[in-house]
């Protein structure tokens, strides 16, 4: 999909290519709260509200797949009070999704080991996936209790199990075949990965899938990340020459 920026200083408007798959590492909620002398839970609440805004805007501009890093396998090591606050936010979001978000033409999927969550939260996750399954618009992947290394271990276990059961032949293993065992099976790899907050690392996010993704970093904390910043990331992406290892 293409859209054009407004004409500036007499120059022709700039053609922009919207990436099919965008991943966002939503980072900086705690620092946002600290800057305002608020509890970290307030930062997570502000981040959750911004998540809704950016998700709807991404769908509006034509993103086909949006993967948001919501809760990592390492986040369990945070203080219990903060983890509990996050679980409460997840619960509230899922209930809202069933009540209001279903008006959007967005299919919601969860990637990660959701078995670690409470039975009530797992039931809501399943209900949201089932309710949004008929949607034909943007696919929203919520990475919850997700880690790139854990995903690869899980995929290797799944493949080994199929080999033992005679469902797979190691002599025919390819990158495409192995990708079928990932959480994102059947989806294109991310074209663009965005990380607000000023940090410049991947933090165990989509390790396999991001092999040739373009990265854009912002010195903006996630609650302050606006639709215009997503526009800017897409503009930067459009200026990149993607060679995929070629010339």
Are 187 and 23 spatial neighbours (Cβ–Cβ below 8 Å)? no
84 is catalytic: no
How far apart are the C-alpha atoms of 176 and 98, rounded to whole Å? 34
Question: Exposed e or buried b for every residue in 211-246, given b needs 16+ CB within 10 A?
Answer: eebbbbbbebbbbbbeeebbbebbeebbeeeeeeee
Q: Which of 27, 29, 189, 191 is catalytic?
A: 27
How far apart are the C-alpha atoms of 139 and 135, rounded to whole Å? 9
Contacts of 170 (CB under 8 A, 6+ apart): 163
Q: Which of 29, 75, 169, 189 is catalytic?
A: 75
204 is catalytic: no
Contacts of 172 (CB under 8 A, 6+ apart): none
Query: What is the helix, strand, coil percentage profile of the chain, to 5?
Result: 45, 15, 35
The overall longest dimension of the chain from CA atoms, in Å, is 66
| Catalytic residue ranges | 27, 75
């Amino acid at each position: 999909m293409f859209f054009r920026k407004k004409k500036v200083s007499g120059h022709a408007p700039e053609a922009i290519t919207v990436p099919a798959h965008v991943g966002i590492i939503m980072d900086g909620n705690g620092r946002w709260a600290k800057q305002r002398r608020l509890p970290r839970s307030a930062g997570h609440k502000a981040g959750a509200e911004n998540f809704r805004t950016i998700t709807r805007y991404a769908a509006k501009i034509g993103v086909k797949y949006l993967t948001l890093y919501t809760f990592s396998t390492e986040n369990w090591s945070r203080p219990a009070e903060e983890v509990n606050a996050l679980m409460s936010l997840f619960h509230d979001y899922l209930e809202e999704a069933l009540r209001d978000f279903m008006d959007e033409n967005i299919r919601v999927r969860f990637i990660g080991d959701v078995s670690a969550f409470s039975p009530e939260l797992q039931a809501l996750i399943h209900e949201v996936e089932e309710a949004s399954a008929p949607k034909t618009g943007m696919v929203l992947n919520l990475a919850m209790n997700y880690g790139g290394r854990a995903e690869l271990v899980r995929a290797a276990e799944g493949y080994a199990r199929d080999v033992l059961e005679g469902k797979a032949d190691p002599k025919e293993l390819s990158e495409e075949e192995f990708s079928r065992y990932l959480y994102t099976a059947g989806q294109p790899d991310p074209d663009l990965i965005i990380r607000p907050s000023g940090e410049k690392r991947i933090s165990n996010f989509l390790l396999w899938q991001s092999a040739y993704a373009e990265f854009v970093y912002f010195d903006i904390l996630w609650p302050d990340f606006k639709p215009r910043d997503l526009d800017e990331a897409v503009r930067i992406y459009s200026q990149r020459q993607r060679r995929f290892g070629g010339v």
